[in-house]
Amino acid sequence: MNDKNLILAINPGSTSTKIAVYDGAEQLFIKNIKHSSEEIDKFAKIADQYEFRKEIILKEVKEAGLNLQEFKVIIGRGGLVKPVASGVWGVNEKMLEDLRIGREGQHASNLGGLIAARYS
């Protein structure tokens, strides 16, 4: 797969984490990982779910026969950040700080940028 342009898309929601793998515009893999309330309720804050969700994503990617080092792009659903123009934004340290503390609010989508930044 080294000659491919692999993209990992991460979309954390309140009760699920959706991931998809693309080679350019071609979808290769998609998975909707459901989280029970018992799993989610263990965490006091959204940011506390980081390791839990990251490990599930890594497991699914590995089980799909993919290696994280092969990805050209890892993208996460934006999260609640200060208002910015629409589009694609590179994750920077200020954005990560806002996502961690939930400056604009608490939502599972805040984990998208945090997880994507770790592997980009």
Return d(Cα 11, Cα 32) in angstroms, integer.
9
Three-state DSSP state, 71 = strand
**Residue in the block written with tokens 């989610």:** 40
Residue 76: other Cβ atoms inside 10 A:
25
Along the 120 residues of the chain, how does pLDDT read in single tens digits? Answer: 457 899 999 999 999 999 999 999 999 999 999 999 999 999 999 999 999 999 999 999 999 999 888 999 999 987 888 888 888 888 889 888 989 888 888 899 999 999 998 776
- What the chain holds in terms of domains, given with CATH numbers, is 6-119 (3.30.420.40)
